Structures are given as C-alpha cells and as structure tokens.
C-alpha cells in the first residue's frame, strides 16, 4: 500500500518524507489556498518545490471546468515535472480529459468520487488513480469504507489497473481499514500516519528497557 500525504504544506511534506515511508503527495485548490499559494506563477512554482522534496507522484489539480481549459491547464501542469499527476474532477468534462491524458501517457487522478459508478467511469477512461473521499462520506452518515470495498470488487472483476486512492482519510483507523480492504493508496494528514506509530505497550516496554539499561550501566 502506498502512503501519500494530503497537504501543500512544505514542512509537513518534509517531515513525512523524513520518516522514509512517503510515496507521494496530493493537493487540491483548498489545500493550496490554505498555504496562501495564489496566482498562477506561485502555484506552478509550489508544485515544482513539492516534486523536488519527494520521490513519488504529486497530484496537481486543474481549476478549469471545461474540457479545453482542463486540457490546457493539465498540459501545463504535466510539463512542470515528470512526477506531476493531473488531477481532474469527476464530471463529464473531467472524464473526457482523463481519457485524453491517458491516451497521451500522462498520469491522472480523478477526484471527488463518491460512488462506485463514478469509479467505474474513471477506470474506463484509463485514469491512473481514482480518489473516493471516504471521510466526506462518513461525515454524512454514509459508509466511506464500503465504497472502497465496492470499487475494489469492480476493479478486480475486470482487472482494471486504475489504482484506488482512498482520499479524505481523516484518522489512523481509516488507514488500517483501507489496508484490510485492499485500497492501493491512502492520502491523509501527517497525524493519521503518525498515529500508526503509537501503542502504550511500546512506550511502557521502552521505558522499562531504558530503566534496566541505566541500572546496569551506571
Ligand atoms: C483528495 O485528494 C483530497 O485532497 C482530500 O483527500 C480531501 O480531503 P478532505 O475531505 O479532508 O478535505
């Protein structure tokens, strides 16, 4: 399973990379705005900075809503760096653009996916990644993990190579449960990844080892 971090914050990306388990980064227009990254040049420069910090795929989202605009923006993004994945919304135009880019061998991530039918369309269009938003489904009393299970079943039935990128991951148990179901990738905050480290018995055991070592090595 791949771990992506879902942020445009360079310090957090560096910290996740330093742990040695980071496989890529996802961003979206809200995450860029949160970091105060506005204006075309600053946005493009920021994507390059992110690519230079990590080894894997970096999803950069188009802002255009029409097909021609998505193609123009996506081509500009893809030209920035070979780690860039063009992120496209799950709309009719987004699906058409995913097909356009996949035919050209450019990686895509179809985002804002909330149903198995949408995920099926993204795979048919040849998307590299499909991003079902599990946290946002949980927020409205709908089982986000059940959607991952449905998509896994459909993709396995037909051998689709589109990778299931479980997005809107909010906490550590989302990661563990996505791993059980067979999501290919998760993207979430650094705190959710750090949560995997924690167990009170590890802390108690380590404190004991340290105390015993110090007793015998005074
Ligand atoms: C996906 O790529 C999105 O950036 C993201 O996971 C959305 O998460 P949120 O629901 O926590 O905003």
Cβ < 6 Å from ligand 1: which residues? 6, 26, 28, 111, 131, 133, 135-136, 167-168, 187
Nearest ligand 1 atom, CA 26? 2
Which residues touch 173 (CB under 8 Å, ≥6 apart)? none
Task: Please return the burial class of 66, using the count of CB atoms within 10 Å of its CB with bins 0-12, 13-18 and 19+.
Answer: exposed
126-147 confidence digits (pLDDT tens): 999 999 999 999 999 999 999 9
How far, in Å, is the centroid of ligand 1 from the Cα of 66? 22
Give the N- to C-terminal CA distance of the chain in Å, as an integer.
Answer: 44
Query: Are the beta carbons of 71 and 93 closer than 8 angstroms?
Result: no
Pocket test for ligand 1, best of 2, 8, 23, 28 (most atoms within 8 A of CB): 28
Domains along the chain with CATH numbers: 2-216 (3.20.20.70)
Which residues touch 42 (CB under 8 Å, ≥6 apart)? none
User: Has the ipTM of the complex gone over 0.90?
Assistant: yes
How far, in Å, is the centroid of ligand 1 from the Cα of 167? 6
Catalytic residues: 87
202-212 confidence digits (pLDDT tens): 999 999 999 99
Give the closest residue to 162 by CA, choosing from 193, 132, 188.
Answer: 132
Nearest ligand 1 atom, CA 31? 4
User: What's the pLDDT band for 156 if we cut at 50, 70, 90?
Assistant: very high
80-105 confidence digits (pLDDT tens): 999 999 999 999 999 999 999 999 99
Say what the pTM is: 0.96
Q: Summarize the confidence of residues 150-163 as an average pLDDT.
A: 98
């Amino acid at each position: 399973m791949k771990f992506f971090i879902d942020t445009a914050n360079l310090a957090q990306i560096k910290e996740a990379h330093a742990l040695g388990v980071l496989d890529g980064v996802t961003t979206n227009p809200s995450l860029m705005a949160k970091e105060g990254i506005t204006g075309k040049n600053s946005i493009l420069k920021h994507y390059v900075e992110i690519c230079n910090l990590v080894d894997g795929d970096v999803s950069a989202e188009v802002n255009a809503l029409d097909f021609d605009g998505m193609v123009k923006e996506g081509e500009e993004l893809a030209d920035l760096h070979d780690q860039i994945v063009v992120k496209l919304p799950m709309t009719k135009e987004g699906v058409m653009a995913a097909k356009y880019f996949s035919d050209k061998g450019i990686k895509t991530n179809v985002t804002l996916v909330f149903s198995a039918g949408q995920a099926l369309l993204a795979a048919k269009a040849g998307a590299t990644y499909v991003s079902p938003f599990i946290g946002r489904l949980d927020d409205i009393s709908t089982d986000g993990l059940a959607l991952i299970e449905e998509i896994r079943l459909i993709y396995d039935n037909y051998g689709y190579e589109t990778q299931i990128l479980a997005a809107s991951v909010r906490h550590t148990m989302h990661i563990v449960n996505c791993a059980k179901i067979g999501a290919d990738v998760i993207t979430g905050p650094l705190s959710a990844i750090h949560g995997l480290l924690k167990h009170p018995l590890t802390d108690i055991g380590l404190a004991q080892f340290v105390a015993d070592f110090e007793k015998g090595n005074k």
